[in-house]
Amino acid sequence: MLYIKCPYCGLRAQKEFSYGGDATVKRPNINEEISSEDWDNFVYMRKSPRGKHIELWQHIAGCRQWIKVQRDTATHEIFQTAKVTEEIR
Amino acid sequence: MSQPFRLNKEGLINRNKKISFTFNGKKLFGYEGDTIASALIANGIHLVGRSFKYHRPRGFFGAGVEEPNAKLQVEFNGHSEPNVNATEMELVEGLSATSQNCWPSVNFDVGAINNFLKMFFPAGFYYKTFMWPKSFWYKIYEPFIRKAAGLGVASIEKDKERYEHKFEYCDLLVTGSGPSGLASAYAAAKNGAKVILAEDKPRFGGTLLTDDVSIDNLSGKDWAEKIISELKSMPNVTVKNRSQVFGYYDHNMLVMFERVSDHLEKKSKFIPRQRLWYIRAKETILSTGSIERPIVFGNNDTPGIFLSAAAKEYMKVYGVLVGKKPLIFTNNDSAYETALEFKKNNVEPIILDTREEHSSELIDEAKSKGIDIRFTHGVIVANGYKKVKSAKIGKLNKDKNSFEKIETIECDCICVSGFWTPSVHLASQSGNKLKYEEKIDAFIPDKKKQHETSVGAANGSFTLEESLKHGFENGSNLSAKITETKTEISIPNVNEKKYGAHDKFWCMPLPKNENPKRFVDFQNDVSVSDIEIALREGYRSIEHVKRYTTLGMATDQGRTSNLNGLQLVSNIENKIVPEVGHTTFRPPFTPITIGTIVGREVGMEYMPTRKTPMHEWHEKNNAVFVDAGVWKRPRYYKQGSETLFEASKREAKNVRENVGICDVTTLGKIDIKGPDAAEFLNRVYTNAWMKLPVGKARYGLMLREDGIVMDDGTTTRISENHYHMTTTTAQAANVLSHLEYYLQIVWPELNVNVVSTTEQWAGAAIAGPKSREMLSKLYPDLDVSNEALPFMGYKEAEFFGVPSRIFRISFSGELAYEINVKSDHGMFMWEKMMEVGKEFGNQPYGTEALSTLRIEMGHVAGPELDGRTIPSDVSLNGLVSKKKDFIGKNSLGREAFNVESRQKIVGLIPIDRKSSIPEGSHIVQDQNAKLPNPKLGHVSSSCWSVENNNPFSLAIMKDGKNMIGKKFFAVSPLKNKSIEVEVISSHYVDPEGKRVRS
Ligand SMILES: [Zn+2]
Closest-CA residue to B197 (of B272, B288, B261, B262): B288
Task: Indicate the pLDDT class of residue B506, thresholds 50, 70 and 90.
Answer: very high
Q: Which helix (H) or strand (E) holds B849?
A: helix B847-857
Average pLDDT rounded to a whole number, residues B5-19: 95
**What is the per-residue pLDDT for B146?**
54
Task: Indicate the pLDDT class of residue B724, thresholds 50, 70 and 90.
Answer: very high
Nearest CB neighbour to B250, from listed A18, A58, A76 = A76
Kindly list the residues from chain B whose CB atom is less than 8 angstroms away from the CB atom of residue A33: none
- Exposed (0-12), middle (13-18) or buried (19+): which is B103, by Cβ within 10 Å? middle
Q: In the predicted model, is pLDDT for residue B212 greater than 70?
A: yes
Average pLDDT rounded to a whole number, residues B561-582: 89
**Calpha distance B73→B343 (Å, rounded):** 35
Cis peptide leading into residue A28 (ω within 30°): no
Share of chain B above pLDDT 90, in %: 85
Task: Indicate the pLDDT class of residue B145, thresholds 50, 70 and 90.
Answer: low
Ligand 1 centre from A81 Cα, in Å? Answer: 11
Kindly list the residues from chain A whose CB atom is less than 8 angstroms away from the CB atom of residue B278: 1
Q: In the predicted model, is pLDDT for residue B110 greater than 80?
A: no
Q: Are B29 and B1 in contact (CB under 8 A)?
A: yes
Average pLDDT rounded to a whole number, residues A16-43: 95
**What is the per-residue pLDDT for B20?**
96
Q: Does residue B137 lie in a domain region?
A: yes
Residues B786 and B640 in one domain: yes
**What is the per-residue pLDDT for B540?**
86
Given CB atoms, is A9 within the 8 Å cutoff of chain B? no
**The domain defined by A3-27+38-83 carries CATH number 2.60.40.1890:** no
- The C-alpha R_g of chain B, in whole angstroms, comes to 38
Nearest CA in chain B to A21: B741
Q: SS3 string of A38-70?
A: HHHHHHHCCCCCCCEEEEEEECCCCCCCEEEEE
**Calpha distance B742→B784 (Å, rounded):** 38
Distance from CA of A60 to the nearest CA of B (A): 8
Given CB atoms, is A20 within the 8 Å cutoff of chain B? yes
**Calpha distance B325→B383 (Å, rounded):** 14
The amino acid at residue B85 is N
Q: In the predicted model, is pLDDT for residue B103 greater than 70?
A: no
| Domain coordinates in residue numbering, chain A | 3-27+38-83
| 3-state DSSP assignment of residue B463 | coil
Kindly list the residues from chain B whose CB atom is less than 8 angstroms away from the CB atom of residue A30: 683, 747, 885
The amino acid at residue B907 is G
Given CB atoms, is B839 within the 8 Å cutoff of chain A? no
**What is the per-residue pLDDT for B645?**
96
- Mean pLDDT, chain B, whole residue set: 93
Q: SS3 string of B144-175?
A: HHHHHHCCCCCCCCCCCCCEEEEEEEEEEEEE
pTM recorded for the entire structure:
0.89
Q: Are B14 and B32 in contact (CB under 8 A)?
A: yes
Q: Does residue B502 lie in a domain region?
A: no
**What is the per-residue pLDDT for B978?**
96
Residues B192 and B282 in one domain: yes
Domain end: B554, B572, B603, which one? B603
**Calpha distance B331→B696 (Å, rounded):** 89
Q: In the predicted model, is pLDDT for residue B869 greater than 60?
A: yes
| More confident call, B375 vs B541 | B375
Residues B841 and B791 in one domain: yes
Q: Which helix (H) or strand (E) holds B73?
A: strand B71-76
pLDDT digits (tens, 9 = 90+) for B777-791: 999 999 999 999 999
pLDDT digits (tens, 9 = 90+) for B741-767: 999 999 999 999 999 999 999 999 999
Task: Indicate the pLDDT class of residue B577, thresholds 50, 70 and 90.
Answer: confident
Q: In the predicted model, is pLDDT for residue A75 greater than 70?
A: yes
Hey, which bits of B355-491 come out as E strands? Answer: 372-375, 377-383, 390-396, 403-410, 413-417, 420-422, 433-437, 442-447, 452-454
**What is the per-residue pLDDT for B447?**
95
Q: Out of A3-7, B261-265, B420-424, which region has the weakest mean confidence (pLDDT)?
A: B261-265
What CATH code is carried by the domain that includes residue B3?
3.10.20.440
Ligand 1 centre from A8 Cα, in Å? Answer: 5
- Say how many CB pairs under 8 Å bridge A and B: 57
**What is the per-residue pLDDT for B51?**
85
ipTM of this predicted complex?
Answer: 0.98
**What is the per-residue pLDDT for B120?**
54
Task: Indicate the pLDDT class of residue B582, thresholds 50, 70 and 90.
Answer: confident
Q: Which domain holds residue B109?
A: 1-160
What angle is formed at CA B16 by the lines to CA B11 and CA B19, rounded to 5 degrees?
90
Residues B898 and B919 in one domain: yes
Kindly list the residues from chain B whose CB atom is less than 8 angstroms away from the CB atom of residue A19: none
Q: Does residue B867 lie in a domain region?
A: no
**Calpha distance B298→B301 (Å, rounded):** 8
Closest-CA residue to B53 (of B583, B541, B551, B389): B551
- Exposed (0-12), middle (13-18) or buried (19+): which is B451, by Cβ within 10 Å? middle
Q: Does residue B508 lie in a domain region?
A: no
Residues B693 and B743 in one domain: yes
Q: Out of B286-290, B598-602, B632-636, which region has the weakest mean confidence (pLDDT)?
A: B598-602
pLDDT digits (tens, 9 = 90+) for B803-855: 999 999 999 999 999 999 999 999 999 999 999 999 999 999 999 999 999 99
Residues B458 and B363 in one domain: no
Task: Indicate the pLDDT class of residue B610, thresholds 50, 70 and 90.
Answer: very high
**Calpha distance B729→B852 (Å, rounded):** 17
Kindly list the residues from chain B whose CB atom is less than 8 angstroms away from the CB atom of residue A77: 449
Which sign, positive or negative, has the C-alpha torsion A59, B701, B866, B888? negative
**Calpha distance B455→B848 (Å, rounded):** 64
Ligand 1 centre from B656 Cα, in Å? Answer: 49
Instruction: Please count the structural domains in chain B.
Output: 7
Residues B307 and B255 in one domain: no
Q: Does residue B749 lie in a domain region?
A: yes
Task: Indicate the pLDDT class of residue B123, thresholds 50, 70 and 90.
Answer: low
**What is the per-residue pLDDT for B50?**
86
